[in-house]
Amino acid sequence: MITLSGIIGSGKTSLTTLLSEKLGTKAFFEPVDDNPVLPLFYKGNEIAAEKRANGDKEATNPYAYLLQTFFLNRRFAMIKKAMADDNNVLDRSIYEDEIFMRMNTDMGNATRVEYDIYKSLLENMLEELPYAAHKKAPDLMVMIDVSYDTMIKRIKKRGREYEQLENDPSLVEYYHTLLKYYDVWKTEYDASPLLIIDGNKYDFMTNEADRQTVLKMIYDELLKLGSIDDNKHAELMVDLNA
């Protein structure tokens, strides 16, 4: 099983789709369009930032804990399904979920009590995962590492209104802060092997040569880890160069 990670707009969904097609397997996608809490969360961030700017230093986002609990529950269910069979690809996983709750707590959007409860729930889920999914961890985590400018360009391109800077200026600080937390996360992640793709250098969504380069990097890593054998690697390379 391959899991994808990366900041908003990094291209996780596109690479998940591409990998699942090339490997002939199932893709599991992060719940966004059917998430009733996400638009409320972005509005809550805006309201909390405005209150703090007006002197209410204790103002929090009332939807931060609700959103992260929603995501945690969905990601736990999703990774159990993805791990039940071989060769599946997962668009963002439970392993990076804590980034968002930790950041929202540090930014004042969630309380320390909410964070402690969330962390306890996450730890319990991770302890149960090998029993529920019959697999200890992913075979490979692929992180798409992008800069702020690249992220903003891709966010504008996909056009979700609640993600746009012109609709919520407080997102500038939020996105910059999130990038810093991802920089820390990629140095701390140890649940499985980690392959970092330079999403600024390789535009695998629109450039065919970059797409082939990124896929080859992943195939080579899977071969090195023993997740695929020489025959499968050769087969994938023939398809890649066809």
Catalytic residues: 91
* 129/73 Cα distance (integer angstroms): 12
* 117/156 Cα distance (integer angstroms): 35
DSSP track, the chain:
-EEEEESTTSSHHHHHHHHHHHHT--EE----TT-SSHHHHHHHHHHHHHHHHTT-TT---TTHHHHHHHHHHHHHHHHHHHHHSTT-EEES-GGGHHHHHHHHHHTTSS-HHHHHHHHHHHHHHHHHHHHHHS-SS-SEEEEEE--HHHHHHHHHHH--GGG-TTT-TTHHHHHHHHHHHHHHHHHH--SS-EEEEETTT--TTT-HHHHHHHHHHHHHHHHHHTSS-HHHHHHHHHHHH-
Residue stretches of the annotated binding site: 6-14, 30, 42, 68, 92, 97, 154-158, 163
Residue stretches of the annotated binding site for substrate: 30, 42, 68, 92, 97, 163
Residue stretches of the annotated binding site for ATP: 6-14, 154-158
